[in-house]
Chains A and B, each alone.
Chain A
């Protein structure tokens, strides 16, 4: 549906970069989706992207920290996010996104599911821009 709108809504499709900052494919692999659940450890609410870090426990009690990239603050607030309110350090979250090409514990986030079950988009869909 969104692709249909991209055409119908008259975007400069085909050549345009629809991202705020860089092409998705530059750093992330749209063929490698990933979902992790854990506890928010840190949030860098900054431009040109936010980054948030999630501590993920494994079966053996070890903890791996994942780094997620998201939209810039200006795009997040227009989608209902509020700094220090929507997501806080210590919150339990589930994050869906796509893996980075280089760092095995970094990903581009697309959607965050919060402890109450609510969901918000946190970053662009895979493959956005770059062509």
Chain B
């Protein structure tokens, strides 16, 4: 009797694992959801960066299988920032200082597009005449009107700038301007001026993914527009949590000590 029960349990275990494997091997490809006015609905919780930090190997493998099943093509390879010589010299100095000058390490709000690829999720809420993005990191938010209004005429330079959106077919195009200079664009030392203008394009190419394209233009520091791409991935069941960066940020003091140690020169 015991042996029979063991056999049944064994068969059940085999069936269960077979079902799990089948589930893993055949990703579910659902259609891109649309709003009542026919636009692709970008609403949902997404992550734009740091997948290898956030997810285990099984989930990374599921991502690879999903992309293959959906026929997703690799995004264009990253290109280095096309900085003018003076700006590139500054970037190299910041790189040599290993990023200790990073505004992010002082808990300052990241700008656009960097905030999109921080390894914490954000929620997009798409409404008829505006898109709202709530970022877990820094409790940040962006209101992106899509009703045709222009940028306001009283913009104060800010970390996230001022955004207005429009639809180009199935792509949400966001024009962002009015930045301060307290942010880095995407990586260490990627400085910019107040003349920075970013054009973001959000294209929900499959149910689970958005192709994110950011074009940065800044005649003060860049020789030409600089494009960066990322895949934003849907996180079903995920929710935005609180992240209060300054709570116990010991890095500021430690970086000051590093500066005083004489290891680094001021840029």
- What residues of chain A have their CB less than 8 Å away from a CB belonging to chain B? 1-3, 5-23, 25-27, 44, 46-49, 51, 71-72, 74-75, 78-79, 101-102, 124-125, 128-131
Taking Cβ atoms with an 8 Å cutoff, the residues of B that contact A are 49-54, 56-57, 60, 63-64, 67, 74-75, 77-81, 95, 98-100, 102, 104-105, 107, 113-114, 117-120, 136-137, 186-188, 190, 211, 228-231, 233, 241-251, 254-255, 257-258, 261
Q: A75-B119, A130-B188 are in contact. List 8 more A-B contacts (CB 8 A).
A: A9-B63, A11-B49, A12-B117, A18-B53, A26-B258, A49-B248, A129-B187, A130-B99
Q: Which 9 A-B pairs have the closest CB atoms?
A: A23-B99, A10-B231, A15-B187, A22-B105, A14-B78, A46-B248, A2-B52, A10-B75, A25-B98
Known: A26-B255, A74-B241, A102-B261. A17 touches B114 (CB 8 A): yes
Asked if residues B99 and A47 are in contact (CB atoms below 8 Å), the reply is no
What residues of B have a CB within 8 angstroms of the CB of A79 in the complex?
A: 54, 56
Separation of A19 and B137 alpha carbons in the complex (Å): 12
* B258 lies within 8 A of A47 (CB): no
Closest chain B CB from A40 CB (angstroms): 18
State which of B75, B78, B118, B248 has its C-beta within 8 Å of the C-beta of A44.
B248
Distance of B108 from chain A, by nearest CB (Å): 11
Q: B99 — nearest CB in chain A belongs to which residue?
A: A23
B249 touches A48 (CB 8 A): yes
Q: Are A19 and B248 in contact (CB under 8 A)?
A: no
- In whole angstroms, what is the CA distance A5 to B231 when docked? 12
- From B67, B107, B137, B188, name the one whose CB has the most chain A CB atoms within 10 angstroms: B188
Residue pair A17, B186 in contact (C-beta under 8 Å): yes
Q: Are A75 and B105 in contact (CB under 8 A)?
A: no
Task: State A9–B257 Cα separation when bound (angstroms).
Answer: 38
